[in-house]
Structure 1
């Protein structure tokens, strides 16, 4: 079991997997995999996408940044970076993926990242 899975199970309470999955917009099968922390069929650990975590956050009315942190997306060091360090980090990661700031796919990903930052900032204020 994972810490994220344990929390999601606690947030779901007595609600069925099917009902919770429907409310969050994810399949009940996938929600079960996330709660268990691994896929029983393959034995692979589960790592829900930021989009899935956003859906769960809204469905459970729970902190998106806390779910992201439990899923391993928010590293404490990244949260402490200055603006210039953040821009350098983003440019470096984009170049590793063969992308540039002008790539529409990169801009879409960057937009989602800034949405996450805004949510985190708002939760801490």
Structure 2
């Protein structure tokens, strides 16, 4: 792995006039970690740090720069032609995406969660991994935490207080906990998705005076 000399400065130049906090909001990374990457060291331990492919994907989205460019400059790829040559073998999903409730991802594997099983798939090609992440949104998935993608076509109950998404209307089956920043960003989309998936009109109630869970009360849509 041969990283571009001055890679941290390169990242800083990509950020440009954008503040660290704005970059953090756009990428989902902490502003302190972004600054550490620009300095190429952990300021707490003074150890050299290198961004992972997942981190680079977040920065490429935030800074609007091709993911492959960052991967090459970070030393993960020798050149873009070599990277592109690996695209002949597309990643095959091990389970129907429409049946997948959510996916946990890392640079080494993806874990698909359905109602009845949990399937792990290794990442063999960084290009396939990048293309897969880009395709997820087209298939109705939204990034709800650092490494969590949720199928919006499957959620059926939303507990705003605890930041939980359930995949059944009673909230007794599998659930995921989403990051607060994503909860705020996608609140309206979540509510609309629950309404669509359950076929019910929704009115959101939350009693601030009690410690009771947030509830979604359902009223049949008029026909």
The two structures have a TM-score, normalised by structure 1, of 0.63
- Structure 1 residue runs of 5 or longer lacking an equivalent are 87-102, 119-125
Q: Residues of 2 paired with 1:31 and 1:47: CA distance?
A: 11
Contact 1:3–1:70 under 8 Å retained in 2: no
Q: Residues of 1 paired with 2:59 and 2:43: CA distance?
A: 21
Identify the residue that residue 120 of structure 2 maps to in structure 1.
104
Contact 2:41–2:48 under 8 Å retained in 1: yes
Per the alignment, in what secondary structure is the counterpart of residue 71 of structure 2? helix
- Structure 2 residue runs of 5 or longer lacking an equivalent are 90-118, 133-223
Establish whether residue 11 from structure 1 lines up as the match of residue 14 from structure 2.
yes
Identify the residue that residue 60 of structure 1 maps to in structure 2.
63
Identify the residue that residue 94 of structure 1 maps to in structure 2.
none
Q: 1:80 to 1:74 in 2, by over 3 A?
A: closer
CA drift of 1:52 comes to 0.9
CA drift of 1:45 comes to 1.4
What does the per-residue CA deviation read over 1:24-64, in whole Å, with 9 as the maximum and x for residues that have no partner? 11000110011111112222211111111111101111021
Contact 1:53–1:64 under 8 Å retained in 2: yes
Q: Which structure carries more relative contact order (alpha carbon 8 Å, separation 6+)?
A: 1
Identify the residue that residue 38 of structure 1 maps to in structure 2.
41
Identify the residue that residue 48 of structure 1 maps to in structure 2.
51
Establish whether residue 29 from structure 1 lines up as the match of residue 32 from structure 2.
yes
Identify the residue that residue 122 of structure 1 maps to in structure 2.
none
Q: 1:11 to 1:82 in 2, by over 3 A?
A: closer
**CA-atom RMSD in angstroms:** 3.2
CA drift of 1:5 comes to 1.4
Contact 2:83–2:127 under 8 Å retained in 1: no
Per the alignment, in what secondary structure is the counterpart of residue 110 of structure 1? coil
Where in structure 1 do 4 or more consecutive aligned residues deviate above 6 Å? Answer: 80-83
What does the per-residue CA deviation read over 1:79-98, in whole Å, with 9 as the maximum and x for residues that have no partner? 27976xx9xxxxxxxxxxxx
Tell me which protein shows more helix as a share of its residues: 1
